[in-house]
Amino acid sequence: MINRKNYPKISIITPSFNQGNFIEYNIKSVIKQRYPNYEHIIIDNRSTDRTIETLLKYPHLKWVSESDKGQSDALNKGLKKATGEIIGWLNADDYYLSGCFHVVVDYLRNNKNSDIVYGDYLLIDVNGNLIQRRKEINFDNFILKYLHVCYIPSTSTFFKKKIIEEGNYFNVNYHYAMDYEFFLRLHKKKYRFSHINQFLSAFRLHDSGKSFLHEKKQKVEHKNALLLHNDGLNRVHPLFRFYIILFIQLFARIKRIFIKGLKGIYLQQWNIRNL
């Protein structure tokens, strides 16, 4: 018999709103981990599609369907319900790859100084077809701060519960770049990030996804988060600051490309058409 005490409990938080076409795949991907000690918490924002019908099929789920103030608020509700030692955030339209939980647990056991870990991921289309295998670089604070996008994939990210116990929740003022602001804040507080060089999840790209529908708003929030956590840039005149940020972002992009090239990541990352 499996002794659950030998397996640290994992809490998965899934914010949900009208993703009934995908959420069952999400739920099944957690079940298929065959991990003996986990909880899956779903915070639904009164979905009007078939989401609730799907949730009712799985009695092991911990879920509510009630109004919230956005995705960050839903995540915070889930975090307050979480009882696991390790926490993951999986959006309703994404899913985990086989063996993900065991990989994360093994890594954290062998790297006890790590507080947040993130892995690589698959980019898929609305039908679940593979678009690209996306490999990432090891953690780099400069690139985290100044790249034009958040390069740490939230769908492949797990963190220790102590982060929440020490009062670090998502900023409810952010609706599109909450992950970027959260990661900036955690690094500023000296939490340690680590990269797991394995594919852990799949991110679904579709025309009803937030990153597709609200790209401009996401960029505005990205800039606001950078300024919130960068006192030096705040002291610069706004006109000069605009060009300074553009220059630094370009340098961060070049640095990331150089690191990926040096490590041969581009040779490992290919489009499905070339398989």
| pLDDT tens track for 62-109 | 999 999 999 999 999 999 999 999 999 999 999 999 999 999 999 999
CB 117 within 8 A of CB 107: yes
SS3 of 71, please? Answer: helix
- Work out how many domains the chain is built from and give that number: 1
Residue 268: pLDDT over 70: no
Q: pTM for the full model?
A: 0.92
Bridge pairing between strands 130-134 and 116-124: antiparallel
Q: Measure the CA–CA gap between 58 and 14, rounded to whole angstroms.
A: 14
pLDDT tens for each residue of 181-209: 999 999 999 999 999 999 999 999 977 65
* CATH label of the domain that carries residue 262: 3.90.550.10
pLDDT mean across residues, the chain: 92
pLDDT tens for each residue of 119-163: 999 999 999 999 999 999 999 999 999 999 999 999 999 999 999
pLDDT for 272 equals 41
Spell out the long-range contacts of 47-54 with Cβ–Cβ below 8 A and sequence spacing 24 or more: 47/16, 47/17, 47/18, 47/19, 47/20, 48/18, 49/18, 49/19, 49/20, 49/21, 50/20, 51/16, 51/18, 51/19, 51/20, 51/23, 51/92, 53/20, 54/20, 54/23, 54/24, 54/27
Residue 119: give the domain boundaries. Answer: 4-274
Residue 10: pLDDT over 80: yes
